[in-house]
Amino acid sequence: MAMMRLRREDPRVVGSFRLHRRLGAGGMGVVYLGSDRRGQRVALKVIRPDLAEDQEFRSRFAREVSAARRIRGGCTARLVAADLDADRPWFATQYVPGPSLQDKVNEDGPLPPSRVASIGAALAEGLLAVHDAGVVHRDLKPSNILLSPKGPRIIDFGIAWATGASTLTHVGTAVGSPGFLAPEQVRGATVSPATDIFALGATLAYAATADSPFGQGSSEVMLYRVVHEEPQLRDVHAALAPLVEACLVKAPEERPSTLQLSLRLKEIAAREARGLPDGAHQPPAAHPAKPPGQRGSTGRRGCCT
């Protein structure tokens, strides 16, 4: 992750954390690299001064913290501390070293199918923990996935919301990133775990091709394509294309569950790593794991240790 020097207007200390570098900035605020007295490094997000007085944004920030607190799993950045009542509310999560999936693909080009499947399997298991907490991320995309030495991590729950919530902040305004939004988000309909499955399918297509499955264009053009056109998957490896296509089905109820996606991607990753053709027999594991339980589209928690 690229780091930048602190600017003159940046704080040097927030709560019990000393700030060292800027990690990035977004619509809600600035993210800093910080550390506590024990040397533990954190990614600390501080809300923008002009938004701190806006109750709507304070509520949105509180939702992000609430979502982070409910999630238990190794594939998300663990919440360390927060202060929602400060003049400039903030919260700190475990710092995740490594590039984003977007930066990795921009630098190195499309990833091999075994790597795409391996990342996808870990992310799907991460989403099991997210959904098990009753949360839908709603903005899963390559820039919100960090490739740490211990595996991919899902970050930025800034627009996460409880399962069953609407996707609109204002009438007719969808929340999220064009090209990775699900059709139901564009329409302002109810979100569900299947909403994140669509975004994961689009993300895997990006990792495999270095492009969105809905191409490039203005936000309006991209949103139209998501709702009315089929994704372009001709450059996605044959081992992955059918599963990615299933994730990108327009009707949420027809997409695979998070658990089904995790298991299938694990199979593809193992097969591709060994260079086996699709459908080839895989020898059983020495100690086969007991199938995880499933409640709706959720199952066991955690994925990366």
**What amino acid positions are annotated as catalytic residues?**
139
Paired strand residues for 136: 161
In this structure, what token pair is assigned to residue 33? 């690299």
The rounded distance, in Å, linking the Cα atoms of 96 and 94 is 6
The rounded distance, in Å, linking the Cα atoms of 29 and 97 is 20
The rounded distance, in Å, linking the Cα atoms of 14 and 5 is 16
Q: Which of 182, 174, 104 is nearest to 146 (CA)?
A: 104
The alpha carbon of residue 149 and the mean position of all alpha carbons in its chain are separated, in whole angstroms, by 17
Greatest alpha-carbon pair distance for the chain in Å reads 61
Torsion sign, CA atoms 269, 275, 277, 280: negative
